[in-house]
Chains A and B, each alone.
Chain A
């Protein structure tokens, strides 16, 4: 689907000082897809997301969003283009209330009607957040913070949502719910790039998968094929 490419990474190499975290990573995400990025700890998954959202500047390579090169743009500009990154480790403003966290998620959304709509949608997805909206986000449990992180990412009505391990540290039931919600968000028109340790479940909902190994793309293809691939089975699916 080359004509509907939303995001494209071409030979993206990222260094932390002298350490090379990703090397010539290339893949693309088409509009409307869920693409999952899987790989072992330290493979460079978070690094790749951070490069896309502008938190890290690649030492070489290009990243285009809707055909436009976004390398070198600041994170806040990239957000305003429609890419929202829910970072690893939840990233909740623990000094703000739940409501304030959600409001900040809508920072780039100038349309107050749409903000209201999104807020209602988020509260419908996570009724717990509605009950406690005036409370300090620091009082939420880990799982509730994860819900808040996802809810907040939705507030901007992103075109492309980057999710870094949204299921980390959650009870199985909640993981199920989170994956369902990701599917639903996607059906409502948001393209998703999903980083997951839960490769099995991620491949279940994703259209395509990209496998990273020590900073390099080693495998890429439709999720159904990756699930069957022996290499993936052995490395990530415990098969």
Chain B
């Protein structure tokens, strides 16, 4: 039983990481109906920005929570800029182009980031400096908790709550939801739609950047292609939850994280990576729009 709880904790931690990435997919899809294939690569860049920041500031020589926070903030800031640039120079010029052109461009941006990464960082895996090294495990009610996972979960959930607040309680968030409902209508309110779309990419990329550092902390080997698999799975989680829906992306991610952890623990670890798609197919058979997805009906 205790073991089971440990798997649950691990699953929640994994799920929260997927959620950080999935939120970017779902928000961008919400405003542009675009699957931003480059999003997983922004996650990868977050890890590398974190690594270079840690080395530059010698943060790994005195691991602490503060060092982790600095690394995180650097990665989030760097990814915010990258997300802004991707939208500004790759997607905005195609705003009125056919959807397929934008889709191909997204694939292009993804490949560009992956292979630029290989040129700049090198193709071989790098060791991510340990900016935070908790000693031993924490025991809570007989359950052994890995502090890294607790930290990972806490930071992820905090960021998600901040995002939730921004999207649902602020003026900008209201504008973001208006733009995702209908660009033209939003512009008739006086909302600068392009700026709101930029904001969406920036917010999504900030979360992906944070995820990059958090994952690298637990799995400290990073390479320029590390974003592909988590990217695909987070995307699957977003679709599972109902793409375009923020709450759905979080729910989908936790389902996926838990399922993955449990299948590794009790079933067939080899199927770990396929599981996301099995769940996806099963849920979409029952609910084609995803768990939280709704078909909008106009009143006449």
Binding site for B on A (CB under 8 A): 53-55, 74-76, 79-80, 84-85, 87, 89, 91, 93-96, 100, 103-105, 107-108, 138, 140-142, 145, 152, 156, 169
Q: Cα distance A130–B299 when bound, in Å? A: 20
Contacts of B174 in A (CB 8 A): 96, 100, 103-104
Contacts of A87 in B (CB 8 A): 184-185, 188
A103 to chain B, nearest CB (A): 6
With contacts A87-B185, A104-B178 taken as known, whether A94 is within 8 angstroms of B191 at the C-beta atoms is no
Contacts of B184 in A (CB 8 A): 55, 75, 87
Do the beta carbons of A91 and B178 come within 8 Å of each other? no
Q: Cα distance A55–B96 when bound, in Å? A: 13
Do the beta carbons of B300 and A107 come within 8 Å of each other? no
Instruction: Pull 10 A–B residue pairs with CB atoms less than 8 Å apart, ordered by A.
Output: A55-B187, A55-B188, A75-B184, A75-B188, A85-B188, A89-B298, A94-B296, A104-B186, A108-B190, A152-B189
Do the beta carbons of A107 and B181 come within 8 Å of each other? no
Closest to B183 in A: A75
Do the beta carbons of A96 and B177 come within 8 Å of each other? yes
Contacts of A108 in B (CB 8 A): 189-190
Do the beta carbons of B188 and A96 come within 8 Å of each other? no
Do the beta carbons of B177 and A76 come within 8 Å of each other? no
Q: Cα distance A89–B300 when bound, in Å? A: 8
Contacts of A152 in B (CB 8 A): 189
B31 to chain A, nearest CB (A): 12
Do the beta carbons of B300 and A76 come within 8 Å of each other? no
Given contacts A75-B188, A87-B188, 8 further A-B contacts (CB under 8 A): A76-B187, A76-B191, A76-B192, A87-B185, A91-B185, A93-B181, A93-B182, A95-B177
A167 to chain B, nearest CB (A): 15
B175 at the binding interface (Cβ < 8 Å): yes
Do the beta carbons of B190 and A76 come within 8 Å of each other? yes
Contacts of A54 in B (CB 8 A): 187
Q: Cα distance A53–B184 when bound, in Å? A: 11
Contacts of B191 in A (CB 8 A): 76, 104, 107
A62 to chain B, nearest CB (A): 21
Contacts of B296 in A (CB 8 A): 94-95, 138
Residue in B177, B188, B297 whose Cβ sees the most chain A Cβ within 10 Å: B188
Residue in A76, A141, A142 whose Cβ sees the most chain B Cβ within 10 Å: A76
Contacts of B26 in A (CB 8 A): none
Closest to A142 in B: B299
Residue in A53, A55, A75, A94 whose Cβ sees the most chain B Cβ within 10 Å: A75
Contact partner, A75, options B171, B182, B187, Cβ 8 Å: B187
Q: Cα distance A138–B180 when bound, in Å? A: 15
Q: Cα distance A94–B294 when bound, in Å? A: 12
Q: Cα distance A142–B171 when bound, in Å? A: 26
Q: Cα distance A60–B188 when bound, in Å? A: 22
Contacts of A76 in B (CB 8 A): 187, 189-193
Contacts of B192 in A (CB 8 A): 74, 76
A166 to chain B, nearest CB (A): 15
Q: Cα distance A174–B154 when bound, in Å? A: 53
Contact with A along B182-217 (1 / 0, CB 8 A): 101111111111000000000000000000000000
Contacts of B190 in A (CB 8 A): 75-76, 79-80, 107-108, 156
B97 to chain A, nearest CB (A): 15
Contacts of A91 in B (CB 8 A): 182, 185, 188
6 A-B pairs closest in CB distance: A79-B190, A108-B190, A75-B187, A107-B190, A104-B189, A107-B189
B261 to chain A, nearest CB (A): 33
Do the beta carbons of B299 and A107 come within 8 Å of each other? no
Q: Cα distance A53–B171 when bound, in Å? A: 23
A52 to chain B, nearest CB (A): 11
Q: Cα distance A140–B174 when bound, in Å? A: 19
Contacts of A100 in B (CB 8 A): 174, 177
Contact partner, A104, options B175, B193, B297, B298, Cβ 8 Å: B175
A86 to chain B, nearest CB (A): 8
Q: Cα distance A96–B186 when bound, in Å? A: 12
Do the beta carbons of B181 and A96 come within 8 Å of each other? yes
B172 to chain A, nearest CB (A): 11
Closest to B300 in A: A142
Contacts of A142 in B (CB 8 A): 299-300
Residue in B184, B185, B299 whose Cβ sees the most chain A Cβ within 10 Å: B299
Q: Cα distance A169–B300 when bound, in Å? A: 8
A198 to chain B, nearest CB (A): 18
Q: Cα distance A108–B171 when bound, in Å? A: 12
Closest to B193 in A: A76
Do the beta carbons of B298 and A94 come within 8 Å of each other? yes
With contacts A94-B296, A103-B174 taken as known, whether A74 is within 8 angstroms of B185 at the C-beta atoms is no
Q: Cα distance A75–B299 when bound, in Å? A: 25
Contacts of B189 in A (CB 8 A): 76, 79, 104-105, 107-108, 152, 156
Contact partner, A93, options B171, B177, B193, B297, Cβ 8 Å: B177
